[in-house]
Structure 1
Amino acid sequence: MRATPESRSFRAVGVAGLLVCCTVLGLAGTDLVLPAVPGLPDYLGGSIAQAQFVLATFAAGTGIGLLLFGELGSFLDHRKMLVSSLLAYGFLSGAAAMAPNLELLIALRFLQGVAASCAAVVTPGMVRALFDEQGALRALGALGSIESLAPAIAPIIGVWLLSAYGWSASFWVTAMLAVGLSVLVAVSGRYVPAVSGNPSRLGYWLLVRNAVFQRYALSQGLSLGSLLAFVFAMPTVYVVAFGGEIQQFIVMQLLGISTYIVAANLSSRLVRRFGAERTIYGGSILAFGGSILMLAYGLLGGREPWVIWALFLPFNMGFGFRGPPGFYRSLQASDGDDARASALVILYVMLITAAATALISPFVASGLWPAALAACLLGALSLVILPLLPALPEDT
């Protein structure tokens, strides 16, 4: 019996939903764990500084994985890559849940990050192949919206898991979900598009040499990296430095993500009115201004949660304005190599976040200023790069 157009459409939506779940689970590898980080030294030994490496190594592993799977995707079936990586992610998460000390957990988190990154590389192409052009645009837009909600929702679930079942619960939940999703993708194989990339001997080297691409990619990586490095530090700042509650961090995240979503949806209107370059510059300046105010408040010894929440809003609003056009123009500058360009931009984000998180880890329990200082420096660099490297023509 032949499938009707309605049944094919319903099936495509179902497969797209499954692929979105795979991507979101990879993103949640950090946000589910965030609430448990301040207390890890109490459970596993070690120091607060070491506990921050639980976040830094996952980000670093994700960056390496993006490069690895971006290259492997040029030769291998993306369905097999996704199933294998989800299985690996599940088993590594289970191993992390049983880690007897912080050192082993840190090492496993790096491998976890590598495995978790595959979905972000392969699912956009699969989702696009499920629909026609207009349907693909709607589906990819929905994918982006759902992904932006993950950093707000996952920490709330992480807090509940931590309070109800202990620090390892988020790892066990991730393990079960990853294995379950791998099975679902495997049994749905005939309906999941068989996508593979185009091999190129030069690969990433062409993008590394492309000054226009580097302008947008590095600025995007530094801008988002400044935001993520600040967010990664704040659970420890609230709980350890301020003696507060993890719920204060959750409120900050909810406000920040809500502001980002609103700003990102307004971004296209700003581009139409002012142009992409002015929107990128304006958003970068707004985010940098927010980080300067946060640093000033931290240096003055400020610790009121409501003040931090308020200062966090322009930070997120600025990136919401500049993020979409910055990422889109990096793809435009890639000369058609969208998959590698996407992987390289996210690589920059992850490596910059990992480096900043590691560098401030010895000081993160001292208060607000180390995280705010890292955000300021990265935000300043994201602005400095823009006039130094060549831009695309405004009407491109």
Structure 2
Amino acid sequence: MAIALPRHAGSVLLIVSATVLGLAGTDLVLPAVPGLPAVLGGDAAGAQLVLAGYTSGTACGLMLFGELGARFDQRRLLAGSLLAFALVSLLCRWVDAIEALIALRVLQGATGAAAAVFAPGLLRRLFDDGGAVRALGLLGSVEAMAPALAPVAGLWLLRLGGWQASFDLLALLGLLLAAIVWRLRRHLPLPPPVARGSGGYHRLAVDRVFLRYALSHACTLGGLLIFVFGAPTVFVTALGGSITDFIIMQIGGVAGFAIVSNLAGHIAQRFGAERTIMAGTALSAAGTAAMLAYALAGGATPLAVAAIFLSVNVGLGLRGPPGFHRAIVAARGDDARGAALAVVAILLTTSLGTAAVAPFITEGLVPLALGAFLVAGSGVLLLAVLPPLADRPD
């Protein structure tokens, strides 16, 4: 019998909150970035490194906590990482030079990465397979809303207390969550220790079953994010639209993703996880293909772009929870390293794809849609050629 989600609602809320705090490290600070050169020196390019530094630090932190989580108590590590995140956030607000802030942002990103590594494995231990997929759907929907809502809160904080206010809030929330996690750590599951000599990251990196789920997920989400990162420029410079059109697209996409991701667990139980994963991956890729066809036909209506993009979000919502859950299961007990590699794959796919499209971004919708399609379509190919979890011999 499936375990009902409300039974562990408090633990789920704690895990989700810690994960979202790491995401807020980018989006909450975003509105303050353009004004940083005026108060800390430097130029606009240096201010952008405040964002890039956090991302690079997060990538390093993912790998670090993936290794530590395979060796030590993840509950203690999570509490310690939140405390460190809070202290580094507090240091950020006292700097007086942009270079110092960039350096601290790398450290802030690294200390805030633990929850993203530990959350999938902790949720898996709290529930059976069906419950874990539903919990991951909830986590994914909240994570999708954070980039949309956090900048609004960041703008309010900027007006209320200047650029330091976002760091003050991050420090306060980090301290609060660290204390709660430490106090309630025994209510969180303790993953079994990973056997020494298990192969670590190398074993997972050459495991074709694990790669099936981790890389196909990275391609589906990466294709979506590549389009999102380039859409504001394309809307304004090529389609004659505005940032408002982009916001409309994002609101519709996030809503579609949130609804479907919370239904994905039930759909997977009804039709099977593999069918659900393939259907969602194919739907997302088909959405990018439709976007490319629309662009090649000369389409330039922002509302039409938003309507087509909805299918990309719905496809990700359908395949995301069961696909990521299967990636963790395919790690064969090495949950922390598995989650770390899966998230690093997303970051690399998105950053490389965005960099490849960037030189052509002012050319209009075609290059952006083509880049998203090539990446999202690769997810379908990976599912077609790599073996599923059910094929692994006992």
Shorter-chain TM band: 0.7 to 0.9
1:91 and 1:261 map into 2 onto residues whose CA distance is 32
Q: Per-residue displacement from partner, 1:188-237 (whole Å, max 9, x unpaired)?
A: 45655665632432122222221122122111111112222333444566
Find the residue that maps to 2:193 and give its secondary structure: coil
Q: Are 1:341 and 2:338 matched, yes or no?
A: yes
Give the superposition deviation at 1:299. 7.1
* Distance in 2 of aligned mates of 1:263 and 1:218: 21
- Equivalent residue letter for 1:219: S
What is the match of residue 310 of structure 2? 313
Is the contact made by 1:236 and 1:365 (CA closer than 8 Å) also made in structure 2? yes
Could you tell me which residue of structure 1 aligns to residue 257 of structure 2? 260
Q: What are the residue-to-residue correspondences of 1:143-154 with 2, within 5 Å?
A: 143-154=139-150
Q: Does 1:67 align with 2:63?
A: yes
Are positions 1:324 and 2:321 aligned together? yes
Deviation at 1:380, TM superposition (A): 2.7
Amino acid at match of 1:334: A
Going from structure 1 to structure 2, the CA distance change for 1:117 and 1:286 (only over 3 Å counts) comes to same
1:72, CA displacement in angstroms?
0.6
Please tell me whether residue 180 in structure 1 is matched to residue 173 in structure 2.
Answer: no
CA apart distance, 1:108: 3.8
Unaligned 5+ residue runs, structure 2? 1-5
Give runs of aligned pairs for residues 197-236 of structure 1, distance below 5 A: 197-201=193-197, 202-234=199-231
Q: 1:145 to 1:283 in 2, by over 3 A?
A: closer
Per-residue CA deviation, residues 327-381 of structure 1 (Å, 9 max, x unaligned), is: 2333343334333322221221122223334455566577655544432231132
| CA offsets 1:51-91 (integer angstroms, 9 cap, x no match) | 66554543443233222112111222323312221122223
Instruction: Give CA-to-partner distance per residue, 1:246-273, whole Å, 9 cap, x none.
Output: 5544433221111112222444565466
* Change in 2 beyond 3 A, CA 1:179/1:365: farther
Match of 1:22 in 2: 18
Residue 287 of structure 1, CA deviation: 1.7
Q: What CA distance in whole angstroms lies between the structure 1 residues aligned with 2:305 and 2:134?
A: 35
Contact 1:267–1:325 (CA under 8 A) maintained in structure 2: yes
Aligned residues: 387
Q: Is the 8 A contact 1:275 1:394 kept in 2?
A: no
Percent same amino acid at aligned positions? Answer: 48
Letter in structure 1 aligned against 2:343: I
Q: Which residue of 1 aligns with 2:349?
A: 352
Partners of 1:132 and 1:325 in 2: how far apart? 13
Which residue pairs with 2:28 in the alignment? 32
Q: Is the 8 A contact 1:35 1:235 kept in 2?
A: no
Query: Residue 192 of structure 2 contacts residue 333 of structure 2 at CA under 8 Å; is this kept in 1?
Result: no
Equivalent AA in structure 1 for residue 206 of structure 2: R
**Residue identity matched to 2:64:** L
Task: Pick closer, same or farther for the CA change 1:41–1:260 going to 2, 3 Å.
Answer: farther
1:85-96 correspondence to structure 2 within 5 Å: 85-96=81-92
- Among candidates 96, 104, 109, match of residue 105 of structure 2: 109
Structure 1 residues 84 and 249, CA gap change in structure 2 (3 angstroms): farther
CA distance in 2, matches of 1:297, 1:170: 40
The TM-score, its normalising length taken from structure 1, stands at 0.77
2:133 and 2:265 in contact (8 A); partners too? no
State the 1:26 CA deviation. Answer: 1.3
The letter of the residue matching 2:117 is V
Q: Distance in 2 between matches of 1:308 and 1:42?
A: 37
TM-score (norm 2): 0.78
Which AA in structure 2 matches 1:178?
Answer: G
1:115-126 → structure 2 map (5 Å cutoff): 115-126=111-122
**Per-residue deviation at 1:316?**
0.4
Would the aligned equivalents of 2:47 and 2:98 in 1 still touch at CA under 8 Å? yes
Q: Which runs of 5+ in 1 are unaligned?
A: 1-9
Paired residue for 2:78? Answer: 82
Per the TM alignment, residue 313 of structure 1 is displaced from its structure 2 partner at its CA by 0.5
Distance (Å, rounded) in 2 between the aligned partners of 1:34 and 1:318 = 28
- For residue 375 of structure 2, what is the aligned residue in structure 1? 378
1:12-51 Cα offsets, whole Å, 9 max, x none, are 6545433332122112223334455667677765456x66
The one-letter amino acid paired with 1:197 is P
Query: Aligned pair in 2 of structure 1 residues 323, 241: CA closer, same or farther (>3 Å)?
Result: same
Distance in 1, Cα, partners of 2:235 & 2:92: 25
* 3-state DSSP of counterpart to 2:387: coil
- Please show how residues 242-253 of structure 1 align to structure 2 within 5 Å: 247-253=244-250
**Does the C-alpha gap of structure 1 residues 92 and 242 become closer, same or farther in structure 2, counting only changes over 3 Å?**
farther
Moved more, 358-367 or 224-233: 358-367
- Output the aligned Cα RMSD: 4.1
Query: Greater shift after overlay, 342-351 or 289-298?
Result: 289-298
1:7 counterpart residue number: none
Q: Secondary structure in 2 aligned to 1:281? A: helix
Instruction: Flag the 1:303–1:168 CA change in 2: closer, same or farther, 3 A.
Output: farther
